Amino acid sequence: MRNYLAEKPREEELSFQQTCSECGEGFAFAEKKRLEDDNIILLEQCTECSYSKRINRALTIENDPITKILKGIKTWEMRDRHCRIRESIGLIEIGTGTIVGAMEIIGTRGPMGREELLENKKRHCSDPDFLLSKGWDHAWILKKPRKFVNPIPYKHPRGAQMWVKLTKKVLE
Ligand SMILES: [Zn+2]
């Protein structure tokens, strides 16, 4: 189980790292912004250019996979279903109470059998038998991971599991 984790990620998987997807010069940071109508939103911005985008929701992920996602090593997030969302989403590192970065979901694939999971170990960075035992046979294909310069604290809503909607109550 160790050897594939030590494999060097391919060039194209590293090319987007943490730099701004617009100018390629600056770094991603996020801040809570209070609007005139008293709503609070999460805005992702660039340290160098005018890039600015609202992030509406965040996905909860464990520390180990989130680190690999943000380094561009892991490009498939494995779940038990397809995902229809195609926008910039926040990444919540479970146990930290913070949103640590953002990424895009550009598509999904699955359900996959053992062979297909084995062929794509480099993308999902997991043991195929472990994934199958959990029912995680669908890949959410990720692009442009950005690690925020400063993680954003939020309040985890009671009962929220996979997704957290970034409402005023959550961001306040
Ligand atoms: Zn920029």
Distance 123 CA to ligand 1 centre (A): 27
The confidence band for 1, taking pLDDT boundaries of 50, 70 and 90, is very low
Ligand 1: centre distance to CA 151 (Å): 18
CA of 119 to the centre of ligand 1 (A): 35
Average pLDDT over residues 32-36: 96
Residue 141 is predicted with a pLDDT of 97
Spacing, Cα 30 to ligand 1 middle (Å): 13
pLDDT at 62: 94
Residue in 39, 78, 46, 67 with CA at minimum distance from that of residue 165: 39
94 within 8 A of 63, measured Cβ to Cβ: yes
Which has the higher per-residue pLDDT, 144 or 136?
136
At 91-120, the pLDDT tens digits run 999 999 999 999 999 999 999 999 999 999
Domain ranges within the chain, ordered by starting residue: 11-171
Alpha carbon of 21 to ligand 1 centroid (Å): 7
Compute, in angstroms, the gap from residue 67 CA to the centroid of ligand 1.
22
pLDDT over 90, % of the chain: 76
Query: From the CA of 106, how far away is ligand 1's center (Å)?
Result: 21
Q: What pLDDT, on the 0 to 100 scale, is given for residue 7?
A: 47
Q: What is the dotted CATH code of the domain comprising 11-171?
A: 2.30.130.30
pLDDT > 60? residue 126: yes
The length of the chain in residues reads 172
Poorest-pLDDT segment among 21-25, 42-46, 56-60, 165-169: 21-25
2-19 tens-digit pLDDT: 444 444 444 444 444 477
- 44-98 per-position pLDDT tens digit: 999 899 999 999 999 999 999 999 999 889 999 999 999 999 999 999 999 999 9
Nearest C-alpha neighbor of 78 from the set 117, 48, 50: 117
Instruction: Work out the mean pLDDT of the chain and round it to a whole number.
Output: 89
Q: Is 80 helix (H, G, I), strand (E, B) or coil?
A: coil
Looking at residue 10, its pLDDT comes to: 45
Other Cβ atoms closer than 10 A to 71: 15
Range with lowest mean pLDDT among 4-8, 27-31, 36-40, 42-46: 4-8
